[in-house]
Amino acid sequence: MYPPIEPYDHGMLDVGDGNLVYWEVCGNPEGKPALVVHGGPGSGCSVGVRKTFDPERYRIVLFDQRNCGRSRPHASDPATDLSANTTHHLIADMEVLREHLGIGKWLLYGGSWGSTLILAYAQAHPERVSEIVIPAVTTTRRFEIDWLYRGVGRFFPEEWERFRQGVPEADRDGDTFALLAAYSRLLADPDPAVRAKAARDWVTWEDTVISLETNGKPNAYSDRPDEAVTAMTRICSHYFSNGAWLEEGVLLREAGRLAGIPGVLIHGRLDLGGPVDTAWHLAQAWPDARLVVVDDSGHTGSETMRKEIFAALDAFASR
C-alpha cells in the first residue's frame, strides 16, 4: 500500500434533512479525482483506504454516508430519524459533494454495499463518471439479501438459528425481510441494552458468513467500537429490510447505461455471502467492464485481491 497520508482539506457538508455529511480530500490537489464509496451500508469510511491510491497522481475524496462515521446526526442515537436515509438520498449527496468540490468527473471506487451505490449513482449520472473499480460486487437485489441473511444458513444452520432467535418470537417465522425489519425495530429501541444485544447478534452472523475466509480479516464486523457497530447494524437493517429502495434487478437491467465507462470488477471466488455470479452477470451486461475473479479471496479480500485493486487504480491514474 502507499504511505499513510493526511487530508489537506475536509469539512461537514449540509445535504438537507438536518444531515451533515463528513468529507475529506487527500493526495494531489491537481490529480485525477477519485471518490471512495464505503460499504455497510453504514460502515463509515476507513482512513486506511487513503493508502490504496497513488497520492502523487490522485485527488482522493472520502466521505461518510448519512448518519455514520463522522457524519451527523449519528445512527447510534435511537433519536436519529433514518427516514431521509435511502439510496436515492445518498446519490443526491454524492452529487452535492461533487459540485461542492468543483469536480467534473471522478473515478468511483468501492465494494460490497459501496458497489451497489456506485452502480446506482453511475446509472443516474453516467456523464459524471470517468472509471469504476469495484472489489466485491453486489447489486442488493432482494434475491441477494435473502441469500445473505437466510440462504447462507444452509452452511451454518446453528448460527443462523441463533440469528433468527435474536428477534421476538412473533417475528421469527415470516420471510427474510420481516426478520430484518424486526432487527431494525430492535436497533432503534430506546433501551440501550436491547440495542446492544441486537447489534451484537447481527454482527455475529456477519462474522459467521466470512469465517471460512482464511486470507481475509476475521471478525471484520464485530471488531469495531460499539457506537460504530450500532450505527452500521441499524443502517444495514434499515436498508436491507426495504430492499434498498431499488426495483428488483434494476442495476443489472440498466447496466447498458454504463456504456463508455471503463470498469474493473474484482471478486473473490470464495465469497460465500456474495457469490461470484452477480459479478459475472454484471460483466456480461456492462460492455466496458472487465471481470477479475480472485481464486484465493472471499468477501474480505486477500493479498492477491489487493494487488489486483492496485493494478486497476494505477492503470487508470494516467488515463
Q: Known catalytic residues?
A: 112, 271, 299
Cell of 218: 476475521
Cβ neighbours of 126 (radius 10 Å): 13
CA–CA dist 180, 239 (Å, integer): 9
Q: Is 194 exposed, middle or buried (0-12, 13-18, 19+ CB in 10 A)?
A: middle
Contact status, residue 242 vs residue 272, Cβ threshold 8 Å: no
Q: How many residues does the chain have?
A: 319
Alpha carbons 301 and 268: distance in angstroms, whole number: 7
What's the one-letter identity of residue 191?
D
Largest distance between two CA atoms of the chain: 57
Q: Residues 265, 281: contact at Cβ < 8 Å?
A: no
∠ CA 50-51-55 to the nearest 5 degrees? Answer: 85
